[in-house]
Structure 1
Amino acid sequence: MDSQRTSSSQRGAVRAPASQPGGAKLAQIAREAGVSLSTASKVLNNRPGVSDATRKRIEQLLEKNGYRRRRRTEQTTTDIVELLLDDLDTPWSEEILSGVLAGLRKPYVPVVSARTGDNWSIGVWLEEVLARRSAGVIIPLFEFPKEAEERLARSGIPAVLVDPTGDVPQNVPTVGSNDYAGVREATEYLIAQGHTRIAFIGGPTYLQTAAARLDGFRGAMRQAGLTVDPALVSSGEFRYDDGKKHACELLSMPNPPTAIFAAGDMQAAGVYAAAWERGLRIPDDLSVVGFDDLPTSRLLLPPLTTVHHAVREMAQFGAATLMQILEGSAGGMPTHLELTTSLVIRESVRKLP
């Protein structure tokens, strides 16, 4: 994930529209009306997607507090829904896009952006969203900065977070999953198969999702009375090359693990490659478990035992939630939905004698 450069931040600085006395005051009006900041901003900017009764209540509060609302002729909303991805060429991104397409309804169409390139920043991307006059945004696997949340809300553009990686904003709907429970269940399965020397290849330490998966692994080991060897725990990116690199290091140890838990299926594919290069057979010589249940996990030889993360379902629910907001059928306050995970047992784990 690219860091935000000073020049880009300046270009994407947050500016309140002239028609508003201030974002903080609008948030107070939203609380008084019992709605989200995004809903209050929709009424302020004469955007659709708000019931008549709610719109009337907010309009009265806006008038009371001296807000000047846009005229109906000033509406500038298009039917574009923004989808912001970390990458465009991964199976995970393909699952997200498929889910979003399944959840959107006509006339809305997605515009896909990727967080790539040295010049990318959240501020510059927001400028592009506003220039395209987008109806709403869907943001998967990204920590949503407060300034971005406030800016979209002031512009009346609703956002939905899918599989959020940081603290969940109270004013933004989210769709996630229980990463902790999923990893814990899979680790318990490995232990039940007789494995005690288990390695864990995790994700970026700054992501809450990665921290939850590591906590699930440690929790299962601790519950079984097993010690987690720090030498068997590593962190990196949820990518093939990263999984292969860490697996090479683990398999080169004098006392290598009998099983490796990769916190992402693409990392697990990298583990397969590292094992193959050393002439090791899965699961005879090494057991492997992944996380996500991407379509590629079924194509590995042998097929990968993994945690079903419901990536496509989360994206579909996220898009459907945005549809409810845009069509005015959502409730006043944002929802925070958490999907359950499940262990998918295939052929990559061996039961030790």
Structure 2
Amino acid sequence: MATQSKAHLDAQYGKLTSIAEEAGVSLSTVSKVVHRRRDVSPSTRDRIEELLSRHGYVRPWDREATTARQVVAVFRDLSGPYTLEVVRGIVEAAGLMGVNVVTGTTSARPIAHWLKESVALGALGLIVVISMLTEEDQRHIVEDKLPVVLVDPLSTPSLEIPCIGVTNWSGAKDAVHHLLELGHTRIGMIAGRSHSPAGSARLHGYRAALEEAGIAFDPAIVRSTDFDYDEARHAAVHVLRLPDRPTALFAASDSQAMGVLEAARQCGLSVPQDLAVMSFDDSLVAAMACPPLSAVRQPFEELGHEATRILLQLAQGRPPASMRIELATQLMLRSSTAPPRAAS
């Protein structure tokens, strides 16, 4: 990507768009011919090949025979522990499949830009991780049949776009059950935003576990934030300074859990003696925290492998067996959780 200027990428995309219009076909049909897929009629293929030649379009892999196939993976940012784990999973899985990964973020460039860039680069498709897609983005993906796979999107996507996540609801429920089994009855949560499918599912799993235990939901000890350290720290300080503070807090992500640990320190509370802390993610920072975090483990390597596998399948014109895939989570118990003092 460093060797191709933005002007060149725009020109390549413009050529493909013009060819699609001139041939009277969709951009996705042109993309199929570019990638030499077989699910295009001979007459349409010949017409598009002639236009590709006339417009001077050169396939990236024809330009440099040693260039490997590539996919584009786009993230909201590259700063959080979850993001870094998913990047690693995608890159490692792609490497095993002989595919290079171009990474980018939506912090400065919107999804619409990356959809365009993916086509201009001649990439096999796009993996979008923890990002918000507009209705226009989704319409573009569906109508042009662009190979796109979503991982933990921040908004509910169209059912026609493949989406991969984990068992957020049951994983959260298992986490709260563990705290209940330790003897905690006053359990708060630093939840994700309600518009996030993953954040919403984890909150509902938390509430389901309390309901099964006959414990009333108390909104005073539940705060919603982004999956962010600073926001979670501020929210946790507020909750921990309540007169009837919780004896345990369940954080919806490792970043939030790290914020909870710092909030406990600021409030003069010891973890786990004064406050049990449970997390969700189990990225590398969970085991390195002080104390090490009990957490719901997401299978990051498998997430990356599935996202890459399904994207390559889409690029070959084969739809996945299911448009919604949930991978199983696992409870990892460490020293951040213990019975409340009264139950010791």
Same fold (TM over 0.5): yes
Pairing of 1:276-295 with structure 2 (within 5 A): 276-295=265-284
Q: Does 1:96 align with 2:78?
A: no
Show CA shifts across 1:178-220 (max 9, x none).
1001001111111111111111111122211111111111111
Conserved? CA contact 1:135–1:157, under 8 Å: no
Q: Cα 1:296–1:220, aligned 2, differ >3 Å: closer, same or farther?
A: same
Tell me, yes or no, if structure 1 residue 267 matches structure 2 residue 256.
yes
1:314 partnered with 2:306: no
1:166-315 counterparts in 2 under 5 A?
166-315=155-304
- Is the 8 Å Cα contact of residues 156 and 196 (structure 2) preserved in structure 1? no
Q: C-alpha deviations, 1:304-331, integer Å up to 9, x for none?
A: 11101223321222112223444x3955
Please give the TM-score of this superposition, normalised by the length of structure 1.
0.78
Specify whether residues 336 and 206 from structure 1 end up closer, same or farther in structure 2 by C-alpha distance, changes over 3 A only.
closer
Q: Distance in 2 between matches of 1:289 and 1:333?
A: 34
Flag the 1:167–1:126 CA change in 2: closer, same or farther, 3 A: same
The sequence identity of aligned pairs, in percent, is 29
CA RMSD, aligned part only?
3.2
Q: Is the 8 A contact 1:160 1:321 kept in 2?
A: yes
The two structures have a TM-score, normalised by structure 2, of 0.80
Quote the Cα distance in structure 2 between the aligned partners of 1:41 and 1:69.
7
1:115, 1:19 → 2: CA distance? 28
Return the offset for 1:145: 3.6
Q: Which of residues 55, 59, 64 in structure 2 aligns to 1:76?
A: 59
2:106 to 93, 115, 138: 115
Aligned length: 315
Q: Which amino acid aligns with 2:105?
A: A
- Cα 1:305–1:41 shift into 2, 3 Å: farther
Higher mean C-alpha deviation, range 286-295 or range 153-162: 153-162
How many Å separate the matches in 1 of 2:98 and 2:178? 46
Amino acid at match of 1:347: S
Determine the C-alpha separation between the residues in 2 that align with 1:179 and 1:128.
32
Tell me how far 1:292 sits from its aligned partner: 0.4
Q: Contact 1:240–1:269 at 8 Å: present in 2 too?
A: yes
**Structure 2 residue 126 is matched with structure 1 residue 137:** yes
Q: Name the counterpart of 1:6.
A: none
Gaps of at least 5 residues in structure 2 are 1-13, 62-68
AA in 1 matched with 2:279: G
* Counterparts in 2 of 1:307 and 1:333: CA distance versus 1, 3 Å: closer
Q: Classify the secondary structure of the residue corresponding to 1:124.
A: helix
Amino acid across the alignment from 2:307: G
Q: Give SS of 1:167's match.
A: coil
Once residues 251 and 225 of structure 2 are traced to their aligned partners in structure 1, the CA distance between those partners, rounded to angstroms, is: 11
SS in 1 for 2:268: coil
Aligned mates of 1:250, 1:149 — CA distance in 2: 38
Q: Secondary structure at the match of 1:109?
A: strand
- Pair 1:329–1:150, CA change in 2 (3 A): closer
| Partner SS, residue 316 of structure 1 | helix
Contact persistence 1:19–1:68 (CA under 8 A)? no
Query: CA distance change for structure 1 residues 206 and 335 in 2, over 3 Å: closer, same or farther?
Result: closer
Superposition deviation, residue 144 in structure 1: 3.5
CA distance in 2, matches of 1:227, 1:243: 23
Instruction: State how far apart, in whole Å, the 1-side matches of 2:34 and 2:113 are.
Output: 25
Which residue identity is paired with 1:270?
A: G
